[in-house]
């Protein structure tokens, strides 16, 4: 129940909050998501951090933590302001983080209409109900930025995110985002390169009943690659040490597995021991050392 005076004065897209309104948190989130409520952004910022200025400081700190290198916020809603910028790549990085960690956002963003204070408004996302699998994410428009969209869709279990900035009309924006997503779905695909539990390497065991133990992949390695490049993928393992000392138990962390394409790492996982190795008895160890000595002579 923040003071809605500043929110009420907001320009641009609104959910039409009134001074004295007590709106639920979820109500305001829906207004922001569906109808780009600039007044909702300010109301939420003031409610959470006391002032929009304080909230913007938190936004900028969080942006750095998320690796957004070409982003600086000057307000909570994206209206034109000195030094307020965000690159297409940063928008896609943020969208990916949002969808992966807060998938419920897609339920809000794919809502086609919203009514607050008896004012009915419609979602401006041109993908909804038109592009197969589209369920978000956000449109934007200002004189300076043009018609913008971060659009996302899921087809056959694969999600694509596209960002289009500074188009000159709603029609051009709609055409551009559909072309971008179509290009992604046609030219890239998700593949599971290796499954968790697969044997990927082995490591020497010192003073063990076994001379070596197998190393298994700890988690599935799934990645997106250009169509037709499956045979060009390389699996590179990197062990923490040259050998392990017996006794060796199961699931000892032993290193990493990288999937590379054209020399670049595109996916990683850890690997660990897939079997145990007991320690040799004292006399067996002496016999092996003698055998190794004679081997080395010849």
Instruction: Supply the DSSP string of 251-283, one letter for each residue.
Output: T-EEEEEEEEETTEEEEEEEEEE-S-BPBPPHH
Q: What is the C-alpha separation between 287 and 64, in angstroms, rounded? A: 60
Question: What is the pLDDT averaged over residues 71-87?
Answer: 94
pLDDT digits (tens, 9 = 90+) for 6-53: 544 455 677 777 666 778 888 888 888 888 888 888 888 988 999 999
CATH of the domain at 44: 3.40.710.10
Question: What is the pLDDT averaged over residues 67-89?
Answer: 95
Whether this prediction's pTM lies above 0.85 is answered by: no
End-to-end CA distance of the chain: 86
Long-range contacts formed by 127-136: CB under 8 A, 24+ apart? 127/151, 127/153, 127/174, 127/177, 127/178, 127/181, 130/178, 131/178, 131/181, 134/110, 134/181, 135/106, 135/109, 135/110, 136/99, 136/105, 136/106, 136/109, 136/110
Residue 37 belongs to some domain of the structure: yes
- Burial group, residue 266, by CB count within 10 angstroms (0-12, 13-18, 19+): middle
Range of the domain at 246: 195-297
Least-confidence region, from 86-90, 115-119, 277-281: 115-119
With cut-offs at 50, 70 and 90, classify the pLDDT of residue 193: very high
pLDDT digits (tens, 9 = 90+) for 217-249: 999 999 999 999 999 999 999 999 999 999 999
Residue 74 belongs to some domain of the structure: yes
What are the CA-CA distances from residue 217 to residues 201, 231, 245 (Å)?
9, 20, 21
Our count of domains for the chain comes to: 2
Residue 63 belongs to some domain of the structure: yes
Mean pLDDT over the full length of the chain: 91
Which backbone phi and psi does 268 adopt, to 5 degrees? Answer: -140, 160
Residue 275 belongs to some domain of the structure: yes
Partnered with residue 163 across adjacent β-strands are 150
Residue 168 belongs to some domain of the structure: no
Residue 282 belongs to some domain of the structure: yes
Residue 102 belongs to some domain of the structure: no
CATH of the domain at 231: 2.60.410.10
pLDDT at 256 over 60: yes
**Which of 50, 67, 88 represents a domain boundary (last residue)?**
88
pLDDT at 3 over 60: no
Residue 5 belongs to some domain of the structure: yes
**Which of 24, 54, 88 represents a domain boundary (last residue)?**
88
pLDDT at 59 over 50: yes
Which tokens hold the place of 131? 């592009």
pLDDT digits (tens, 9 = 90+) for 91-104: 999 999 999 999 99
**Which of 37, 57, 88 represents a domain boundary (last residue)?**
88
- Cβ within 8 Å of residue 105, ≥6 positions away: 33, 98, 99, 136, 137
Least-confidence region, from 5-19, 38-52, 201-215, 273-287: 5-19
């Amino acid at each position: 129940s923040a003071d809605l005076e500043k929110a009420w004065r907001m320009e641009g897209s609104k959910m039409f909050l009134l001074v004295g309104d007590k709106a639920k948190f979820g109500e305001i989130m829906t207004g922001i998501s569906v109808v780009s409520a600039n007044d909702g952004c300010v109301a939420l910022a003031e409610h959470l951090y006391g002032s929009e200025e304080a909230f913007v400081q938190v936004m900028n700190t969080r942006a750095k933590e998320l690796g957004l290198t070409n982003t600086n916020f000057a307000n909570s809603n994206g209206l034109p302001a000195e030094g307020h910028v965000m690159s297409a790549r940063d928008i896609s990085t943020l969208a990916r983080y949002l969808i992966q960690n807060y998938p419920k956002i897609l339920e809000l963003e794919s809502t086609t209409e919203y009514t607050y204070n008896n004012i009915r408004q419609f979602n401006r996302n041109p993908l909804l109900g038109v592009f197969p699998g589209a369920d978000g994410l956000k449109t934007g428009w200002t004189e300076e930025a043009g018609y913008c969209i971060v659009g996302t869709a899921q087809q056959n279990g694969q999600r694509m995110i596209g960002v289009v900035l500074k188009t000159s009309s709603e029609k051009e924006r709609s055409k551009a985002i559909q072309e971008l997503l179509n290009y992604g779905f046609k030219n890239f695909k998700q593949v599971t390169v290796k499954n968790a539990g697969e044997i990927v390497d082995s490591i020497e065991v010192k003073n063990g009943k076994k001379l070596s133990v197998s190393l298994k992949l700890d988690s599935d390695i799934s990645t997106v690659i250009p169509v037709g490049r499956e045979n060009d993928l390389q699996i590179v393992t990197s062990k923490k040490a040259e050998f392990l000392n017996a006794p060796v138990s199961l699931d000892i962390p032993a290193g990493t597995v990288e999937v590379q394409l054209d020399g670049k790492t595109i996916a990683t996982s850890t690997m660990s021991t897939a079997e145990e190795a007991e320690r040799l008895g004292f006399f067996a160890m002496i016999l092996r050392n003698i055998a190794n000595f004679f081997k080395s002579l010849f």
